[in-house]
Amino acid sequence: RIVYMNGSYVAESDATVSIFDRGFLFADAVYEVTAVLAGKLVDNKGHLARLERSCKELGMKLPVSADELTQIQRTLIEKNQLTEGGIYLQLTRGNEGDRDFSYSDDIKPTLVLFTQQRALLDSQAAKEGIKVISMEDIRWRRRDIKTTSLLPACLAKHLAHQAGADDAWLIENGLVTEGGSSNAYIVTHDNKIITRPLSNDILHGITRASLLKVAEDCQIELEQRAFTIEEAYEAKEAFVSSATTFVWPVVAIDGKTIGDGQPGEIAKKLRSTYIEMVL
């Protein structure tokens, strides 16, 4: 793979980062994942706008503009002949040659991008749905910032896999926040989509924002409110959304079958309409 690192396109084996990089030492870094379908960036404007917001919240400076980032992403797609998958982008606060909690304001950031070839359209999870288990959400209180502090998500997914499930749904004060790396939704028996409203408790999903518009266009009712895991057990459907999954139906939660155990009609409709729209 050819990757991008601080202004250069290099072979992945030549892209190295200092052990003093704050991304490595403190997870002092933000990231974005943009899907690529048929060689085209999906919902990328939203991802870059969120990146700018994450940077602003943490007082980090992007060394290149959003337009230049888009150009870098397109160049990487071309150099790697990426047709379907994603582009990962990470910006760390940089490195000042030692380990020190505090940092200076003129520190030079590290910017890295690489491509990942993956089948997004033809996915077994999309066709059959996934199983999730719920667990306590142990993350910090600024989940709206897309930082690389992903240890809670790694642990949650590992626990889920050990339990024979595909992913986790995270719970705080009895209410579902989101999935391990996705936004979470249920559908009531009168066909209304329920999803948690935006706040610092969840990541403001770019796919979520698009799906809300798709739901409106399809005249599917939607209510933004928090829901309990017990409500989810009784739901007609459940699903998750993210850049890497688009929409994946959830067919079991904590071993309880959701609906008839098959991907729900609304989840399928949202997935197909979203993909049609972005292709």
Neighbours of 171 (CB within 10 A): 16
Given the complex with ligand PDD, which of 134 and 182 has the nearer CB atom? 182
Given the complex with ligand PDD, which of 73 and 244 has the nearer CB atom? 244
Given the complex with ligand PDD, which of 42 and 77 has the nearer CB atom? 42
Concerning whether 236 is annotated as a catalytic residue, the answer is: no
Query: Can you state the angle between helices 265-278 and 206-217, rounded to 10 degrees?
Result: 110
Q: How far is the CB of 3 from ligand PDD (least distance, A)?
A: 17
Binding site for ligand PDD (CB under 6 A): 33, 178, 181-183, 203, 205-208, 241-244
Instruction: Name the 3-class secondary structure at 65.
Output: coil
User: Are 208 and 241 spatial neighbours (Cβ–Cβ below 8 Å)?
Assistant: yes
- Non-local (6+) Cβ contacts of 122 within 8 A are none
Given the complex with ligand PDD, which of 138 and 261 has the nearer CB atom? 138
Q: How far is the CB of 190 from ligand PDD (least distance, A)?
A: 26
Q: How far is the CB of 247 from ligand PDD (least distance, A)?
A: 10
- Residue of 146, 192, 213, 269 marked catalytic: 146
Count of alpha carbons within 13 Å of 271, Cβ hemisphere only? 26
End-to-end CA distance of the chain: 25
Q: How far is the CB of 38 from ligand PDD (least distance, A)?
A: 19
Which amino acid belongs to residue 46?
G
Hey, what are 260's tokens? Answer: 């008839």
DSSP run (H or E) holding 57: helix 44-58
Give burial (CB, 10 Å; 0-12/13-18/19+) of 201: buried
Give the residues across from 180 on adjacent strands. Answer: none
Give the residues across from 229 on adjacent strands. Answer: none
For the chain, give percent helix, strand, coil, nearest 5. Answer: 30, 30, 40
Q: How far is the CB of 267 from ligand PDD (least distance, A)?
A: 15
Given the complex with ligand PDD, which of 108 and 158 has the nearer CB atom? 158
Given the complex with ligand PDD, which of 181 and 273 has the nearer CB atom? 181
Q: How far is the CB of 91 from ligand PDD (least distance, A)?
A: 15
Give burial (CB, 10 Å; 0-12/13-18/19+) of 127: exposed
Give the C-alpha separation, 247 to 74, whole Å.
Answer: 25
Residues designated as active site: 146
